[in-house]
């Protein structure tokens, strides 16, 4: 029996979600590698689907691996640290924009 699965679904929150197959296609990698990323916790699926930010993360990891020769875990760590730095910068900027409370 053969059947066709849609490459996308819409989450209850209204967000577009994509299959592992679609993610592999657009990131020019394999479904097996996408599944390895999931198993390692490098990307986080929603059931058996992926949010666009996770597909973008796969593409970023692939670029770091190709351009800098990092392994997949190292590339994921670089992205995590970059996200944390961006978050800290935003918090610092928000903190600096509020007048200081003096008692």
The DSSP code sequence of 8-75 is EEE-TTS-EEEEHHHHHHHTTS-HHHHHHHHHHTSS--BTTEE-HHHHHHHHHHHHHHHHH---HHHH
pLDDT at 1 over 50: no
pLDDT at 7 over 90: no
Provide the pLDDT confidence category of residue 103 given band limits of 50, 70 and 90: low
Report pLDDT for 98: 78
pLDDT digits (tens, 9 = 90+) for 35-45: 999 999 999 99
Report pLDDT for 2: 36
Q: What's the mean pLDDT in 80-89?
A: 95
Provide the pLDDT confidence category of residue 14 given band limits of 50, 70 and 90: confident
């Amino acid at each position: 029996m053969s059947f066709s699965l849609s490459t996308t679904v819409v989450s209850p929150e209204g967000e577009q979600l994509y299959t592992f197959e679609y993610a592999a296609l657009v990131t020019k990698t394999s479904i097996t590698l996408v599944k390895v990323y999931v198993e390692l916790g490098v990307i986080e699926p929603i059931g058996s689907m992926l949010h666009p930010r996770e597909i973008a993360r796969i593409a970023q990891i692939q670029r770091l691996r190709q351009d800098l020769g990092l392994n997949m875990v190292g590339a994921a760590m670089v992205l995590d640290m970059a996200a944390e730095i961006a978050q800290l910068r935003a918090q610092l900027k928000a903190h600096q924009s509020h007048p200081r409370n003096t008692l």
